[in-house]
Structure 1
Amino acid sequence: MEINVNVPTNTDNQQSTNDNHNYDNRRSYNNFPLLDGECLVPIRVDWEMVKHFNMCRDNLETWHIGPNKVLVAFAPVAIESKAAAIKNFYRDVREYFASFHTDDTLSLDQFLEEAESEDSKGFELASSENPEENVMLRIIIRDLIKQVHNINPKYGRILDLICKDFTKGEILAELNLCKSQGYADIKAAQTLARKLYFEN
């Protein structure tokens, strides 16, 4: 079944967006009922896994993430492990996309590339029609920004501002940077994000 899941896209909340998702209205891949203290989380699967684990095909969903499709099943986990399990799901999907050696979507590519002029915006989501896609992109980008912050706080701050649709000129003003150094820092921040994306 191919679906677009209606999920919140508010990224202002500092908590992980996916922590608020409730997948308990789905059915587990093996149709077993949830036990007390369990919840369902998405897992990326392929057809070999479906066959090997005798998964119920009616319980699978195809999620569209940019130009790519991901086959998703739902597995029970302890409620206290939900956040980690969902984080692992998104990491797995990101690695799966990276194995194609292409960018997930135009908007991710735009985020990782230098804006052309001082007035151009650094980042916009390519599509607002697919909430699941928007959430996935926001999570991928948020993870990248956290990694960049850990390596270089200045570059992390630049990426934060790009995510908030600051123009290049606004970034230079916000960070008190001269034009040549500021442009070099913006490009370096995006280059580091691209490197981390394809390494993870």
Structure 2
Amino acid sequence: MRVGTAAVALLSGVWLVDDGLTTSQPPPPPAQAPPSPGGAAGSARPAPGVAALGPSDPVRLRIPSIAVDAAFTPLGLDPAGALATPPLGRRDLVGWYRDAPAPGADGTAVVVGHVDDRRGPGVLYRLGLLRPGLTLTVTRQDRRTAVFTVDAVRSYPKAAFPAAEVYAPAGRAELRVITCGGRYDRRTGYDSNTVVYAHLTAVS
């Protein structure tokens, strides 16, 4: 089941943190042009892609430019039909939507993680600092490493989250990394989501 065809109707945003920090705000992404059709997400000269890998569960996400080195946990949908999240007590984990393609396989893979909790910043607190051209890697159970190049970083209000755009299949191996962002309200949580668009550019 692809996120682009099945989960778009279910996911209007990613509600990752209900008890975040109140003394700071995660770094926002820069203002950019809207994503262009075909998955390039507004990048003028996207890095060339490579052939997709076969299915294999992800094991570890590494984003050296923002000091992320995190283990994966599989995620499904909660009883309300929304994407579940890593346990609130595990701000060091990232989760991947197990009913969508695995990172590196053909299609759009979805990875989420907490931005913070009452104890401090979470694993994806600095996600908004990523820029087009930077890379991230996913180590998989098949011992292959999928290298993704960032095409764009966006911020969307949760009340107007463009699910069809974010989760749409693109005809190649792509990745979306999502966390909370924007302003925090003690009653309602963060008001936005930060979304990284990336595509597969190397394997090892």
Query: Which TM-score band applies after superposition, normalised by the shorter structure?
Result: under 0.3
Instruction: Tell which has more relative contact order, 1 or 2 (C-alpha 8 A, sep 6+).
Output: 2
What is the TM-score normalised by the length of structure 1?
0.25
Larger helix proportion of the pair: 1
TM-score, with length taken from structure 2: 0.24
Structure with the bigger percentage of strand:
2
